[in-house]
Structure 1
Amino acid sequence: MVKASFIVEGQTEIELVRSDYFKKWLMQYCGIELIGNPKDGNCKGKGNMCAAKLEALAEKIRKQDAPDVIVVLADLDPDADVLCITERKKRIGSRHIDLVVIARNALEAWFLADTEAMRSWLRDGQFYEPVPESHMQPWDALKNYGKAANRGPGSKPGFARKFIRDQRFDLERAASHENCPSASYCVEKLKQLGNKGKS
């Protein structure tokens, strides 16, 4: 079993990583045990997701929790004029980091890609978001869908927590959406990372 710690960009990512669902999924399908407190790896976004700060944080986590691997989960962050995943990864760096996963344009796009969970939340059996990653601000898209269905999402972390728990958000379902490649990449790379520990 590979032991992993996560460095995340913000509260939505924390809600996913610390959820019972995600921890069970990591163990069952990836052979990865989550260790440490995801809050310790919260960079709080924007300018903090740079190589110098992440290198120091990763080094601190390695000393504190002794994980086998460290995974960074971040947004593409179009607000910071980073429109390319390769450039985003360059800014994040790789020292002390084993895997970098970038959600395009933000992790909330993965929520939009889980059609079953969205139908449950909106109480709309016909809902389908054809291009979840096309929204520059997927959180705004979620708010608009919720408003139209009289299902106000509330705060971003509160919504993420309830969406994962109550609507049973499933990362693999999001990854199976034909237009959500960043979720698919996340699933594929986490499984590869866990399988390395079995060889």
Structure 2
Amino acid sequence: MVTVGFVVEGASDKKLVESQSFRDWLIQDYQLQVIDQVVDVGGNGNLCARNIAFYVNLFKKQHNPDKVVVIADLDPEKCAPCITKRKEIIGSENIDLVIIARKAMESWFLADTDAMKSWTKRGSFFEEYPEKTLSMPWDRLKEIGLQTIGRGPGSSKIAFADKFIKHHRFSVVKAAQHPNCPSARYFVEKLELLG
């Protein structure tokens, strides 16, 4: 069994990694065991080479994982214009895998058609380009919620992520199966290689 430690940028990412369904999937399919402590660096300003080394080294010292995975958002308006540049900003020292969600991790929520059907209470749902929304994916979720159930996801990304994962059964594997969600597919494929 390979132990994996996750360093994430924000609350939605942390909720995903902490979820039992995600952990069960990694153990069952890839023999990867998630270290209980997930490090949330609290925003993209903290995920750069000069700061990430501190978090990764401390994590390795305290928990000694076999592998370290970093999950970050692209946030093209705030951080970097492309995935390559974003990875350069984060760096790679003592990191085994860096995953960049295009725009933001909430785009993966939009890509899981079954979870979105459950949340919107609609028999059909398909977001054609979940990673190319005009606004940020969180804003797109608000639009969809207002159009379908008369309210958005709420003001708390943490609460929504928790509910979306637990009650609507969000699965990164299902998001990865979306034809236009390459960052989720990359995540799943690269995790398989770690196992």
**What is the TM-score with the length of structure 2 in the denominator?**
0.96
The answer for the alignment partner of 1:193 in structure 2 is: 194
The answer for the alignment partner of 1:21 in structure 2 is: 21
Identity fraction in percent? 50
2:46 partner letter: N
Of 80-89 and 182-191, deviating more is 80-89
Cα displacement (A) at 1:80:
2.0
The answer for the alignment partner of 2:61 in structure 1 is: 63
- Structure 1: how far apart are the matches of 2:187 and 2:46? 22
CA RMSD of aligned residues (A): 1.0
2:109–2:175 CA contact under 8 A, matched in 1: yes
**What is the TM-score with the length of structure 1 in the denominator?**
0.94
Size of the aligned set, in residue pairs, is 192
Residue-by-residue CA offset, 1:49-97 (whole Å, 9 max, x unaligned):
1011111110000000010010000000213241210000000000010
1:103–1:182 CA contact under 8 A, matched in 2: yes
Pick aligned residue for 2:105 from 79, 104, 107: 107
- Report runs of 4+ in structure 1 exceeding 3 Å deviation: none
| Partner SS for 1:134 | coil
Residue-by-residue CA offset, 1:13-37 (whole Å, 9 max, x unaligned):
1110101111111111121101131
Unaligned 5+ runs, structure 2: none
The answer for the alignment partner of 1:197 in structure 2 is: none
The answer for the alignment partner of 2:146 in structure 1 is: 147
The 5-angstrom pairing of residues 118-137 of structure 1 reads 118-135=116-133, 136-137=135-136
Cα displacement (A) at 1:182:
0.1
Structure 1 or 2: larger helix share?
1
Cα displacement (A) at 1:152:
2.7
1:172 partner letter: V
| Partner SS for 2:103 | coil
Unaligned 5+ runs, structure 1: 195-199
